[in-house]
Amino acid sequence: MTTHDNITLHKVGIIMNGVTGRMGTNQHLMRSIKAIIDQGGIPLSEREVILPDPVLVGRNPVKLARLSEQSGVARWTTDLDEALADEHNIIYFDAQTTDRRVAAVTRAIEAGKHIYCEKPTALSTAEAMRLYELAEARGVRHGVVQDKLWLPGLMKLRMLRDTGFFGQILSVRGEFGYWVFEGDVVPPQRPSWNYRKEDGGGIITDMLCHWRYVLDHVFAPVKAVSCLGAIHVPQRWDERGRPYTVTADDSAYATFELEGGIVAQFNASWCVRVRRDDLLTLQVDGTRGSAVAGLRECWTQAYGNTPKPVWNPDLPQPIDFYEGWLRVPDQRAYENAFKTQWELFLRHVVAGEPYHHGLLEGARGVQLAELGVQSWQERRWLDVPPLA
């Protein structure tokens, strides 16, 4: 912390491990941390500012040097121990592949660093809970990326819920995914480890962590799960053009029972072509109205605007079912969801402001994913017990 011209500057050293990957580079470094630096930091008051000071950490010095030049972040190293030993660095951020996360986050906690990391936080609930317990025992602050809560479309859904638009919520239906090219003819849009179980891949492990916090925080806590996974595309080609056998599920079809009798159904797949409003769409149906939200937009149909169709397959349908839906206007400015959560976590670390998305929330996501895999293997419904 320094003071200049009566301005208190909190310069926060952040170890950013694994940001040479697609998500780490684009969402966390360029659109979040660099954007915060470019805007002059995060104002706590007229005379107090938080300014991130990242150090890029990874295994490939060529990639790190290139990313340093691209981002303007001067500090980088391939030595994690060196970064952890530097007392200026008070936050450790992890965006590595999931199978590397537990060991690195554990080292950072033991070094006394505050923790912010991508999800899933671990490959098992037991490991995820151990990270939470270790962080609590060490007294460090901690957060887990739960970016979809700050997507404009989902924020509009929460606003509708809070104002009572839906009446009693009956059901939630989610559709997510797109066609990920196999790599033999068209280069793939996602890394090959996503499709290898031995490297921590699998869409159930990935996406049910998302669905847990979306359902818990936007609708109601999850009580039970039934999930079916699938490997629809059995062979893909990696970044070097080599064929490999897909060992991780590339599609997940899940049903959830929520508190209050709400039924939620979510399909997620890397083997689906998009003919819907967005890559992620959520339809919420209630006794007084319904809404359909994408990443940014949200459309509503109230009880009084609901058409009354009559089923007659022998005649053309006279109703245009897209009519009668109203777009929810932008009633506020929306930032990048990852950047918004980074700002909240930095304010939590520096100013002690409340923060509700720590490693226990991360463990809840891992728990649901693990139960989803178990449900698929055992072909049955499973209750979701509380995590204390």
Provide the whole-model pTM.
Answer: 0.94
Q: Are 51 and 88 in contact (CB under 8 A)?
A: no
Give Cβ neighbours of residue 38 (< 8 Å, ≥ 6 apart): none
Res 311: pLDDT: 87
Number of separate domains in the chain: 2
List 54's β-bridge partners, or say none: 14
Pair 76, 170 in one domain: no
Res 4: pLDDT: 64
Distance of CA 322 to the CA centre of its chain: 30
Regions of the chain short of the pLDDT cut 50: none
Residue 120 counted as domain residue: yes
Residue 35 counted as domain residue: yes
Residue 388 counted as domain residue: no
Res 6: pLDDT: 77
- Residue 235's alpha-carbon distances to 63, 178, 192, 251, in angstroms, are 28, 17, 11, 14
Q: Are 280 and 174 in contact (CB under 8 A)?
A: yes
**Could you give the CA distance from residue 256 to residue 262 in angstroms, rounded to a whole number?**
8
Pair 99, 199 in one domain: no
**Domain around 162:** 148-335+366-383
Residue 210 counted as domain residue: yes
Helix H or strand E segment including 290: strand 289-293
How many Cα atoms within 13 Å fall on the side-chain side of residue 7? 12
